[in-house]
């Protein structure tokens, strides 16, 4: 089958069969398909879309373009499951969720990414821990998944290599904004991990990846349909990102917060609510709990007993970090040299927060990347971030800024202050951070 014929058919809005899509993606992976052809394919998909069968085939072809992890030879005593998020600010859920699920009997081979734009990356947070290796060899990774129940690492070159090439071309050809291409990129990598089930966290709000609530919902529905259609039971929680999920943002600061939750603290926080909801869905979907009440009981036991924290500690040590991080976090997680409070210019109620601006503020401080090769300062970030609906007095802190220098802090303080909109009265209705849960049976 000629690649040119595949491109012509998609250009002319014809539906491609699975063989054509697999042929094309194999060529992307082995280099026999050129960048110009990849760009032509991506543009044709953007302009003409894909039907359900095409989108499923593209996801499967992405998954199968490289190594697909297999676990049967390890004789695991529980299911293999994972969670993925579209990203946000103060979203450290993975650091808590992975070990929490492991403590409940699951095995979590979590392949994570780095920060992108205003959103923080799980790998960047973990690299705030001295010695932590995000690129272990395969044997070490598999051993930790079996013995500890969780290992959070970066994508290897052998997992879904076609996606790396396709995404690189999409990034420079204005073809990123295509639902089937987005879903295939997200799911292709995740499903290559050989999962029994997957739960996705799709963010909604001004700090979300998708521009509108409607777009987030459309993405969520596509993920459920295509993931399940590709053979992996998949569900999605739509969760709020109209303010940072935690009251902090920044790599070392978020590791501190993860340890706090794993110690059983912070149960009234939005972060806890979202993490608990995702964990509940994972346990029920994977058959580790019979229903939500059973899942809640198992999660409480794992937290109260210290088992979830122990799994986190074993993972950290198993991937090269200190064995006593949980006992001595301040010894290993270096603080920023300079801290100062950004205060409210007047009294009022916080009626909106520009979450994206706060995330970009962390990037400006050096806690994220402007360019792909930039080094990260893991010490910097924001903490004590005020919440929506909170009443503040003039001069009361809106957040605490952690910077490498006073000059860095002063350069960004006013920008961070304007991220908060104050009103005389509250226009914020108390709502759950969980907007909806979507499962395949809901969409059939």
Residue 13 lies in a domain: yes
Residue 56 lies in a domain: no
pLDDT in tens, the chain (444 residues): 799 999 999 999 999 999 999 999 999 999 999 999 999 999 999 999 999 999 999 999 999 999 999 999 999 999 999 999 988 999 999 999 999 999 999 999 999 887 767 877 899 999 999 999 999 999 999 999 999 999 999 887 788 999 989 988 997 898 988 999 999 999 998 999 999 999 999 999 999 888 899 999 999 999 999 999 999 999 999 999 999 999 999 999 999 999 999 999 999 999 999 999 999 999 999 999 999 999 999 999 999 999 999 999 999 999 999 999 999 999 999 999 999 999 999 999 999 999 999 999 999 999 988 776 778 999 999 999 999 999 999 999 999 999 999 999 999 999 999 999 999 887 788 889 999 999 988 786
Residue 383 phi, psi dihedral angles, 5° rounding? -140, 170
Annotated catalytic residue 324: no
Residue 297 lies in a domain: yes
SS3 398: strand
Residue 55 lies in a domain: no
284 and 389 assigned to the same domain: no
274 and 340 assigned to the same domain: no
90 Ramachandran zone, left/alpha/beta (phi>0; psi -120 to 50)? left
User: What do you get for the CA distance between the two ends of the chain, in Å?
Assistant: 34
Annotated catalytic residue 203: no
Query: Full-prediction pTM beyond 0.85?
Result: yes
Q: Per the residue annotation, which of 118, 142, 170, 314 is the catalytic one?
A: 170
SS3 24: helix
Annotated catalytic residue 235: no
Which residues are paired to 199 by β-bridges?
83, 235
Q: Which domain holds residue 355?
A: 334-423
Q: Per the residue annotation, which of 83, 107, 142, 311 is the catalytic one?
A: 83
Q: Per the residue annotation, which of 23, 59, 94, 122 is the catalytic one?
A: 122
343 and 209 assigned to the same domain: no
Residue 238 lies in a domain: yes
pLDDT at 426: 78
pLDDT at 371: 72
Q: Per the residue annotation, which of 185, 225, 239, 275 is the catalytic one?
A: 185
Q: Per the residue annotation, which of 63, 107, 165, 189 is the catalytic one?
A: 189
191 and 249 assigned to the same domain: yes
Q: How far is CA 316 from CA 154, 206, 259, 260, in A?
A: 14, 33, 12, 16
Q: What is the Cβ-side half-sphere exposure of residue 353, based on CA atoms within 13 angstroms? A: 27
C-alpha to C-alpha distance for 75 and 178, rounded to whole angstroms: 39
Residue 428 lies in a domain: no
pLDDT at 203: 95
pLDDT at 181: 95
Q: How far is CA 92 from the centre of its chain?
A: 8
pLDDT at 372: 65
Annotated catalytic residue 339: no
Residue 151 lies in a domain: yes
123 and 219 assigned to the same domain: yes
Which residues are paired to 197 by β-bridges?
81
Q: Per the residue annotation, which of 10, 63, 84, 114 is the catalytic one?
A: 84
pLDDT at 172: 85
Annotated catalytic residue 369: no
DSSP 182-227: HHHHHHHHHHTT--SEEEEEEEESTTSSSSSHHHHHHHHHHHHHHH
Task: For residue 72, give the DSSP letter.
Answer: G
C-alpha to C-alpha distance for 54 and 21, rounded to whole angstroms: 8
* CB 236 within 8 Å of CB 223: yes
Residue 215 lies in a domain: yes
103 and 19 assigned to the same domain: no
pLDDT at 444: 66
17 and 85 assigned to the same domain: no
111 and 151 assigned to the same domain: yes
pLDDT at 431: 85
213 and 297 assigned to the same domain: yes
323 and 338 assigned to the same domain: no
Number of domains in the chain: 3
Neighbours of 24 (CB within 10 A): 24
Structure tokens at 49: 């879309």
* CB 198 within 8 Å of CB 82: yes
Q: Per the residue annotation, which of 190, 203, 400, 435 is the catalytic one?
A: 190
**Element at 402 (helix H, strand E):** strand 397-403
**Element at 253 (helix H, strand E):** helix 251-262
Any idea what the CATH number is for the domain that residue 76 is in? 3.40.1030.10
296 and 148 assigned to the same domain: yes
Q: Per the residue annotation, which of 22, 62, 82, 201 is the catalytic one?
A: 82
C-alpha to C-alpha distance for 155 and 14, rounded to whole angstroms: 33
Annotated catalytic residue 146: no
Q: How far is CA 261 from CA 100, 108, 256, in A?
A: 10, 19, 9
393 and 377 assigned to the same domain: yes
Any idea what the CATH number is for the domain that residue 338 is in? 3.90.1170.30
Annotated catalytic residue 164: no
């Amino acid at each position: 089958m000629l690649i040119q014929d595949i491109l012509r058919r998609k250009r002319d809005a014809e539906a491609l069969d699975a063989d054509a899509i697999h042929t094309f993606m194999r060529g992307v992976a082995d280099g026999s398909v050129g960048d110009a052809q990849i760009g032509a394919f991506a543009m044709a998909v953007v302009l003409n879309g894909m039907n359900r069968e095409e989108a499923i085939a593209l996801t499967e072809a992405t998954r199968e373009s490289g190594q697909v992890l297999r676990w049967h030879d390890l004789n695991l005593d529980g299911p293999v499951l994972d969670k993925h998020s579209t990203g946000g600010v103060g979203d450290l859920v993975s650091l808590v969720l992975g070990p929490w699920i492991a403590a409940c009997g699951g095995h979590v081979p979590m392949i994570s990414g780095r920060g992108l734009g205003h959103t923080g990356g799980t790998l960047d947070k973990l690299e705030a821990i001295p010695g932590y290796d995000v690129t272990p060899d395969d044997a070490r990774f598999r051993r930790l998944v079996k013995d500890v129940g969780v290992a959070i690492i970066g994508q290897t070159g052998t997992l879904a290599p076609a996606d790396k090439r396709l995404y690189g071309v999409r990034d420079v050809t204005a073809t990123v904004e295509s639902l089937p291409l987005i879903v295939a990129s997200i799911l292709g990598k995740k499903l290559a991990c050989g999962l029994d089930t997957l739960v996705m966290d799709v963010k909604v709000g001004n700090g979300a990846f998708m521009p509108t609530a409607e777009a987030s919902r459309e993405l969520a529905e596509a993920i459920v349909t295509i993931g399940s259609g590709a053979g992996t039971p998949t569900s999605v929680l739509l969760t709020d990102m109209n303010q940072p999920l935690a009251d902090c943002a920044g790599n070392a600061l978020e590791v501190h917060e993860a340890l706090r939750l794993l110690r059983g603290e912070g149960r009234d926080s939005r972060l806890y609510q979202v993490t608990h909801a995702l964990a509940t869905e994972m346990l029920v979907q994977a058959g580790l709990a019979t229903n939500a009440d059973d899942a809640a009981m198992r999660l409480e036991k794992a937290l109260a007993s210290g088992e979830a924290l122990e799994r986190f500690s074993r993972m950290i040590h198993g991937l090269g970090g200190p064995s006593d991080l949980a006992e001595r976090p301040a010894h290993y997680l270096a603080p920023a040299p300079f801290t100062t409070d950004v205060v409210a210019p007047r009294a009022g109620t916080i009626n909106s927060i520009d979450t994206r601006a706060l995330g970009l503020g962390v990037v400006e401080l050096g806690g994220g990347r402007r360019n792909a090769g930039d080094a990260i300062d893991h010490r910097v970030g924001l903490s004590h971030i005020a919440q929506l609906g909170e009443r503040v007095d003039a001069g009361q802190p809106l957040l605490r800024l952690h910077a490498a220098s006073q000059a860095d802090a002063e350069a960004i303080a006013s920008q961070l202050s304007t991220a908060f909109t104050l009103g005389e009265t509250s226009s914020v209705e108390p709502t759950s951070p969980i907007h909806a849960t979507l499962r395949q049976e809901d969409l059939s």
